[in-house]
Amino acid sequence: MTTASAFPQDFLWGVATAGHQVEGNNVNSDTWFLEHLPGTMFSEPSGDAVDHYHRYREDIALIASLGFTSYRFSFEWARIEPEEGHFSVAELNHYRRVLEACHEHGLTPVVTFHHFTSPRWLLAVGGWEGTRTAELFARYCDRLMAHLGDLIGVACTLNEPNLPWLLESFGIGGVAPEERGSVPVWAAAAERLGVDASTVAPFQFCSTEAGFNVKLAAHRAATAVIKARRPELPVGWTLANSDIQFIDGGRELADRVRRDVNERFLEASRGDDFVGIQTYGRTVYGPDGHAPAPEGAETNQMGEEIYPQALEATIREAARIAGIPVIVTENGLATEDDSQRVEYLRAAVDCVAACLADGIDVRGYIAWTAFDNYEWVFGYRPKFGLIAVDRATQERTPKESARWLGNVARTNAMIVQAADATA
């Protein structure tokens, strides 16, 4: 017997990218700067990436041809404002052409105003702990809206402002300001910027209370300027929300991490038009911290348990706490085995269908990621892409996962094969 899980008529089906991960040569950004420092945490530099900066037209046409109805991408602040107060009209026009290409191919542009990377100059004035950062970010967003706002379909202010607190629970980052000078990469950054190491606070690695306050202020200031230009434009931020669980002895830690990473950011989302949920699996805590994947469990390229069911838990948590519509703005699997990815996506989409069936307002599912790309500190090894890229030739090759999810998008329904009870 065959059944179909139908989705709302205006449901967004898409794939996502981030500028630094695909465009290439984002030389004015703080991330490019960090990639090339002694003691860097990045396994390799981003370099040319997949040259999406020049190939966006054919890339957008390819995404649309697969059946998708939306494309999530980001504007690069470091390109648009390479020096404080200097805005590049040429770069603004570049992103206008990207937006126009989306509309030409029937894709709703879901645009992230800040996806981890900032201009290098921002790092020199306090980064994401700086007292001026919220105001500077709002000014940048206002300039974007003045030049590009009429073409944006959905606006995401900040990508994963809560990620540093999740990483901190794994023992990654979380260096107190007074201790940064003893860490080689932060000491090297401070020396080259001519500042005290205690003030070096990049977005991805900033997990202080000052960082929380600055990010929240930046989100709210950005929302205000975006709404001032286009009151009807849906605005929210996107959160890295893991399904946080525990085993014996781990409840206290799990509760603390859930509060720091998920709940307080969802509470801060109340009043927004939507919240973007970005989930890849579950995080399980035991008495000694993060618990390893269960014995015999399938794992991804980073050694993490493959657990697509996490998405249903985080959607339900977001709807319960934030009380606003949800868009799944990232979800995917790092694997060389694309058949494994298809099964992961199938299970994840089924999670979305289950939430919709229970009356939860989910407005889209956007997979991470369109292309095999630069995965930050992990470099180019993890393969999340639905489209393979030969980086020697930059040739794009859609995988079966792209065709499978694209067909779901084209039909706006997932076909489910059920066992025949009479067999």
Residues with catalytic roles? 160
Task: Round to whole Å and give the CA distance between 68 and 206.
Answer: 34
For residue 369, say if its preceding peptide bond is cis, omega within 30 degrees of 0.
yes
Alpha helices for 38-88 (secondary structure H): 52-65, 77-80
314 CA to centre of own chain: 15
Q: Is the four-CA dihedral 85, 88, 89, 92 of positive or negative sign?
A: negative
DSSP 263: I
Structure tokens at 152: 């944006």
- Closest CA relative to residue 177, chosen from 161, 200, 194: 200
Query: Going along 145-268, which residue ranges are E strands?
Result: 154-159, 235-240, 243-246
**Mind giving me the DSSP string for 305-323?**
B--TTHHHHHHHHHHHHH-
Half-sphere exposure of 174 (CA within 13 A, CB side): 11
For residue 359, what are the contacts with CB-CB under 8 A and spacing of at least 6? none
Residue given tokens 């694309």 in the structure block: 338
Three-state secondary structure call for residue 375: coil
Structure tokens at 109: 């542009």
In terms of C-beta distances under 8 Å and separation of at least 24 residues, what long-range contacts does 353-356 make, across chains too?
A: 353/5, 353/7, 353/414, 354/312, 355/312, 355/315, 355/316, 355/319, 355/326, 356/7, 356/8
Burial 159-179 (b: 16+ CB within 10 A, else e): bbbbbbbbbbbeeebbbebee
- Closest CA relative to residue 307, chosen from 323, 291, 327: 291
